[in-house]
A and B are shown apart, each in its own frame.
Chain A
Amino acid sequence: MDSCPCIKNIILLDSEGNRVAVKYYSDEWPTNSAKEAFEKALFSKTQKTNARTEAEIAMFENHIIVYKFVQDLHFFVTGAEGENELILVTVLQGFFDAVGLLLRGNVDKKEALENLDLILLCLDEIVDGGVILETDANAIAGKVASHSVDAAAPLSEQTISQALATAREHLARSLLK
């Protein structure tokens, strides 16, 4: 019996349901078309919900999915039916906030694609083969950014807390719109 919390996948889609970055840790979706079908169904099921202030949750095909949206990006984390929902949401929040830090608050599809390397490294630092590696956004972003390839605008110029502040500010502004 494997009682260790297990993440089945982490998915980042755009506002039309297209992939920005995904990572599957479970072999329940053996082919790319199975994955795409899952993402499509997931997207259409959650599209209409409002997951912008608080993370939302849904049961779907015997999985628990927690998700959160910002701008034109949709973040999803999938776990098994019996999983502790709050653990899943911790992972989601870690991913969500880390991306916010890494993109310095400008969290949208364009920025995410332009910094896809950061997003992919971020995924790599959160979960390893389904096992949760790190959930603290500062730690995740720190690990990714300490060797950011983007030399032109090094993140090291601003401290993490500054970046977090920028992200918050940005979020607040987007909410007021």
Chain B
Amino acid sequence: MAQPLVKKDDDRDDEADYSPFLGIEKGAVLQEARVFNDPQLDPRRCSQVITKLLYLLNQGETFTKVEATEVFFAVTKLFQSKDIGLRRMVYVMIKELSPSADEVIIVTSSLMKDMTSKTDMYRANAIRVLCRITDGTLLTQIERYLKQAIVDKNPVVASAALVSGIHLLQTNPEIVKRWSNEVQEAVQSRAALVQFHALALLHQIRQNDRLAVNKLVSSLTKGSVRSPLAQCLLIRYTSQVIRESANTQAADRPFYDFLEGCLRHKAEMVIFEAARAITELNCVTTRELTPAITVLQLFLSSSKPVLRFAAVRTLNKVAMTHPMAVTNCNIDMESLISDQNRSIATLAITTLLKTGNESSVDRLMKQITNFMSDIADEFKIVVVEAIRSLCLKFPLKHRSLMNFLSNILREEGGFDYKKAIVDSIVILIRDIPEAKETGLLHLCEFIEDCEFTYLSTQILHFLGIEGPKTSDPSKYIRYIYNRVHLENATVRAAAVSTLAKFGAMVDTLKPRIFVLLRRCLFDNDDEVRDRATLYLNTLGGDGAVVQTGEDVKEFLFGSLDIPLVNLENSLKNYEPSEESFDIYSVPREVKTQPLAEKKAPGKKPTGLGAPPAGPPSTVDAYEKLLSSIPEFANFGKLFKSSAPVELTEAETEYAVNVVKHIFDGHVVFQYNCTNTIPEQLLENVTVIVDASEAEEFAEVASKPLRSLPYDSPGQTFVAFEKPEGTPAIGKFSNMLRFIVKEVDPSTGEAEDDGVEDEYQLEELEVVAADYILKVGVSNFRNAWESMGADCERIDEYGLGPRESLAEAVNAVIDLLGMQPCEGTEVVPNNSRSHTCLLSGVYIGNVKVLVRLQFGLDGPKDVAMKLAVRSEDESVSDAIHEIVASG
């Protein structure tokens, strides 16, 4: 190697800086690669050059297409050399270059020769390389050799073939599936890793056949698996079988004995896998858990950090659902608080916080206080969250926990950490009434010295809501007014609003508040001045003390029930004109579109010929699109657009999905069509809709798509009239009708003559959920209380046997199409009951709130109590009707 040894200036340690690759350059190495073409190959030198090329690639250097091709062809010459080491490098290099299909042909014969070679190393590696770069056609040619290789005496060769099979199963499943006999034989191999690879492949081949997996598991659990890795796989497959088997009654859970037996395996890897599998069983009982917890407890005192981490992480999860089962480990856990590895320490702390009982809280808090000072912010956040849930669990302990939170609030910390603390205090204030006053004072003290504008404004806003309701609102005024003196304009403005809220809510404070607000009129920031002026005028600060009217309060402090994103978009689109901006024109639909869009396009590459008129993705864009079509212009305001519903299977000739647009008295179906055949041009595309199963709907208009070329989506529309303001439902069958013209692929020209053709699409339904908008509320309890019980309807329903509680909850949410609030759509594992809060807007702009209470009734049966509150009792009834008929 003739590398110039460039010495660095700093004389720290010349030797340490030495690298054989110092000053290496792509161009020079590519030049050097010419030695591959020498008639007399020097294997040593060639290896060195390949290493340099690999070094460059490894450092992130890229080769252009031409360079890569050149290198590839040069490398193929090296198959002439008999040097084993060089050949090994050649294999790695070819894999790194990942040649294109037409280049692969060049090496195919050489690799096939190696595949049948007597040298094991050649066979194994040639298989791996060939399978990595090959396509389906070549695979059929080499299939015979691969089958042989799977049962090869040499474990390295067998593993190479099996692992290649695992990769190929993704691209050529039908071929790999033909190998199951050989793979089955390999499962019995004496070589540990062959067994592991064979088991992985066999399971992947059969994974969709539940019965076969079941058989596989029951035969193997009898004990023929030697490899620890294979045993881990078997444990995973077993717990999968347990999960899927209908019988979850603990008494006769199949295979539990096998899992329990694995706890005594000699490999730690297997013990841990089994313990983890047991803790994750559905509805696991304490008796089943105990042996698993015992081995995990032993791991807690291991000298290996990885073992401790694995154990404490698993126990932490168990503590969420079965805190009592973990209490036995508390002593070991406490010693982990001082663990060198901070991840382990944090997990230990949070586990302890979950399992701790009321009497141990104080002692625990003392330990944590010392611990907090030397961990990173991200860990502190985890601890803060754990303390929050602990406090909610033991409200009586709020004093010491709140004190802890306020202490750490005063210490140094980044924004996210401080925000987590503030959020926690806010939640505690909301949920534990006794904690309110101390909590508010802690927050007041915090804003006295808070460097984060965002947090200051949030706290001021919160003070405005909660402060006036306390026994002595006046004591907060000083803290708030101090902000007006000392802070930046944003905080000052927020403080002015908060002051005004106190003034509006507490009549006795009003005169004093007005004095303060008048002082703010001379602020040097216009926003602050404007706010002060607005409040003074609306609250009557210019005259005598008057009762503040409800409507004024609603106007000033009512919640904004429009999604901010939509408001922002509408404001951007608003063009200044005579007509003033109408806040009621802002769509209220919560934007869920991007998610649906992601699922919709299938595997189509978006790069090539990016659709010029791609389907509009936001509600806003839908509205614009629809109003631009004269036929639909007089339908009024768009109430809701559904997520796209696929009407064709993936990978068919024509891909069609439909978006349902609901208007007050109309429904418009927007069919997004994509033509996936390059040789065809479709013209005059329409969808013929048969609405015989949708009696209340009558077709009024249809807008065909003039032309649909290959791979550029287009839309066609059909509009229906329906009774105004009612949630009419029905089923529609669809037929795509078009004129198809052949396209010459070479020129891209379409022929003149076309043939009329039809294509059957799947059915489409308009369901009740289409008439409900997902509109969230920020504070469900407040909204629920303020809605009142006048139009409340409560009833109970039996949902019958369900797979799980979560599944039942999701089914009802989907049925109603409403927005889950406060994260209540998530059902914790293993819980027996759950409350879910939903909110939405029913057609006709009626707000609806729903409180769902689910409970498990017997092993599988789910019972549900449904309470609906809305502004209109007929709407409340309608929601019940949806559930009753759904």
Tell me which residues from 81 to 128 in chain A have a Cβ below 8 Å from any Cβ of chain B: 84-90, 109-110, 113-114, 116-117, 120-121, 124, 128
B163 pairs with A133, CB closer than 8 A: yes
Tell me the bound Cα distance from A31 to B693 in angstroms: 52
A113 pairs with B163, CB closer than 8 A: no
Residue B236 at the A interface, CB < 8 A?
yes
- Beyond A110-B19, A129-B167, is A86–B58 a contact (Cβ under 8 Å)? no
A32 pairs with B60, CB closer than 8 A: yes
Residue A165 at the B interface, CB < 8 A?
no
- Taking CB atoms, residues of chain B closer than 8 Å to A109 are 16, 19
Q: How far is the CB of A98 from chain B (nearest CB, A)?
A: 14
Residue B413 at the A interface, CB < 8 A?
no
Stretch at the interface among B80-88, B462-470, B785-793: B80-88
- Beyond A113-B21, A147-B88, is A59–B307 a contact (Cβ under 8 Å)? no
- Beyond A1-B207, A84-B269, A90-B269, is A113–B305 a contact (Cβ under 8 Å)? no
Task: Write the B42-83 contact mask toward A (1 if CB under 8 angstroms, else 0).
Answer: 011001001100110011101000000000000000000001
Residue A146 at the B interface, CB < 8 A?
yes
Residue A42 at the B interface, CB < 8 A?
no
B229 pairs with A87, CB closer than 8 A: yes
Residue A21 at the B interface, CB < 8 A?
yes
- Taking CB atoms, residues of chain A closer than 8 Å to B501 are none
- Checking B84, B92, B166, B233 against A147 with a beta-carbon cut-off of 8 angstroms, the contacting residue is B84
Tell me the bound Cα distance from A33 to B232 in angstroms: 35
Q: How far is the CB of B442 from chain A (nearest CB, A)?
A: 31
Bin the interface of chain B by size: 35 or more
- Beyond A1-B207, A49-B341, A54-B304, is A149–B89 a contact (Cβ under 8 Å)? yes
Tell me which residues from 224 to 244 in chain B have a Cβ below 8 Å from any Cβ of chain A: 229, 232-233, 236-237, 240
- Beyond A49-B341, A121-B88, is A55–B304 a contact (Cβ under 8 Å)? yes
Stretch at the interface among B196-204, B394-402, B676-684, B831-839: B196-204
Tell me the bound Cα distance from A99 to B528 in angstroms: 67
Q: For chain A, what secondary structure do more than half of its interface residues adopt (helix, strand, loop), or is it mixed?
A: mixed
A117 pairs with B47, CB closer than 8 A: yes
Tell me which residues from 130 to 177 in chain A have a Cβ below 8 Å from any Cβ of chain B: 131-135, 143, 146-149, 151
Tell me the bound Cα distance from A143 to B41 in angstroms: 24
A135 pairs with B340, CB closer than 8 A: no
A3 pairs with B237, CB closer than 8 A: yes
Residue ID in chain A nearest B125 by CB atoms = A124
Tell me the bound Cα distance from A124 to B89 in angstroms: 10
A56 pairs with B310, CB closer than 8 A: no
- Beyond A84-B310, A87-B269, A128-B128, is A149–B44 a contact (Cβ under 8 Å)? yes
- Taking CB atoms, residues of chain A closer than 8 Å to B313 are 85
Tell me the bound Cα distance from A56 to B343 in angstroms: 10
- Checking B16, B92, B237 against A121 with a beta-carbon cut-off of 8 angstroms, the contacting residue is B92
Residue A35 at the B interface, CB < 8 A?
yes
Residue B588 at the A interface, CB < 8 A?
no
Residue B539 at the A interface, CB < 8 A?
no
A54 pairs with B163, CB closer than 8 A: no
Q: How far is the CB of A166 from chain B (nearest CB, A)?
A: 21
Residue ID in chain B nearest A91 by CB atoms = B229
- Checking B167, B273, B303 against A84 with a beta-carbon cut-off of 8 angstroms, the contacting residue is B273
B44 pairs with A56, CB closer than 8 A: no
Residue B529 at the A interface, CB < 8 A?
no
Residue ID in chain B nearest A22 by CB atoms = B58
Interface residues of B (CB under 8 A from A): 15-16, 18-21, 43-44, 47, 50-51, 54-55, 58-60, 62, 83-89, 91-92, 95, 121, 128, 132, 156, 159-160, 163-164, 166-167, 193, 196-197, 200, 203-204, 207, 229, 232-233, 236-237, 240, 268-269, 272-273, 276, 303-307, 309-310, 313, 340-341, 343
7 interchain residue pairs of minimum CB distance: A32-B60, A147-B84, A149-B85, A85-B310, A86-B269, A147-B85, A117-B51
26 pairs across A/B with beta carbons < 8 Å? Answer: A2-B204, A19-B60, A32-B62, A35-B60, A54-B303, A57-B343, A85-B307, A85-B310, A85-B313, A87-B273, A89-B304, A109-B19, A113-B19, A114-B20, A120-B51, A120-B54, A121-B88, A121-B89, A124-B91, A128-B128, A128-B167, A129-B163, A131-B166, A132-B193, A132-B229, A149-B85
A-B contacts besides A109-B16, A116-B21, 9 pairs, CB < 8 Å: A1-B207, A72-B16, A85-B309, A86-B307, A110-B16, A116-B54, A120-B58, A120-B92, A128-B128
